[in-house]
Homo-oligomer: A and B are copies of this chain.
Amino acid sequence: MTPWTAVNSEGYEAPAALAVDTVVLTVRDGELLALAVRRDDGALALPGGFVGAGERPEATARRKLREKTGLRRSYVEELGAFADPGRDPRGWIPSIAHMALVPPDTVAADPNALWIRARGRRRLAYDHRAILRAAVARMEGKLWWSNIAVGILPGAFTMSEARRVYEAVAGLRYDGATFARDLKGTGLVVATGARRSEGRGRPASLYRFALRTPAWGAGHRKRVSAT
């Protein structure tokens, strides 16, 4: 295959296209999962596509996310640019990497899409393993300082549900009592007043995030260790 090329109206070589690749993350059964797409040649890649002329890259990310999962209002944030020469064998194609967070019950609408372990060692096409690693690192770093988990947790959730998500993302175990105290202390969540019974045991109070848009909690001590 001959690589794609482009020349601009000034006569200089230009990028052949601008791509967006998205790390779609969720938590299921205590594990951090990422969405991958099996290409025609069998290789796995992150969901992505080309930015259209006049389109914002985040809009491209949301468009592709909708195609693969059907979701319309997910948390999406930019990870950074991946533009090293040779990253895409098709030619000079910089990619703006994004990270999206989706609820655990999200089904892969695309038949070629599947969930893989975000911390696994699966091979991915292009430089997509580096992008995946960047997303996991970003997620770990921001978890306690923002309402980033809003994208994974449902509208109302129990402290135990939230704890399992936080544990999966951070790769740590938290004490239930301490976790609830600290998460409430961030000011990012509020009690709904409702309760939910989950099989055996005392019903749990339900909480929701005070904001469903990006926000930061008050200054709290960095979480470095856990039970």
Chain A interface (Cβ < 8 Å from any Cβ of B): 2, 4-10, 12-18, 50-51, 53-57, 78, 80-81, 83-85, 91-92, 94, 96, 145, 218-225
Contacts and interface: CB of A to CB of B under 8 A. Distances in A.
- Give the number of copies in the complex: 2
A5 B4 contact: no
A27 B147 CA distance: 33
Q: Is the interface of A mostly helix, strand, loop or mixed?
A: loop
A50 B7 CA distance: 14
A7 B10 contact: no
Contacts of A221: 221-222
A54 B221 CA distance: 43
A9 B6 CA distance: 6
Nearest to A77: B80
A166 B55 CA distance: 39
Contacts of A91: 8
Given A6-B9, A12-B50, 6 more contacts: A2-B9, A8-B91, A15-B15, A56-B83, A80-B80, A218-B224
